[in-house]
Structure 1
Amino acid sequence: MTPWHDLVVGGLLITPFVGYALAALLGTLVLWPLLRRVRVLRGLARTPFAASALYLCVLALLLVLA
């Protein structure tokens, strides 16, 4: 697997972590309605914490698998 290199946009270096963070955000936005449809979120009192935890889990999974 080829390592990611910094992306240059208008003279600004963007690290690969930004790509992983955006991919994790996209993955979270896809998983959240699925979890709501399966009614996993029904028993949670604080859904913002669950959303943050889901985002961090997806981000960690992307970083480990990259």
Structure 2
Amino acid sequence: MLIDTIARVNELRQKALSEPIFLQSAIEHEKAIQNVEMMTVFDKKRKSLADIYGGHSEGFDK
């Protein structure tokens, strides 16, 4: 039963890969994902070292 399902999925995957509409959609999807990843990288505010180590000044004042 599992082997039949895997064979069916593989058959459908191969059929989809042979269709130009699917390939174009996959390329557009890949570009959209890359744009989202780039936006999340640039949107993140970097923490300053003072924010990261703000409560850890023990031993430095001596």
Query: Which bin holds the TM-score, normalised by the shorter protein?
Result: 0.3 to 0.5
Which structure: greater strand fraction? 1
Q: Give the structure-2-normalised TM-score.
A: 0.38
Q: Give the structure-1-normalised TM-score.
A: 0.36
Which structure: greater helix fraction? 2
Higher relative contact order (CA 8 A, sep 6+): 1
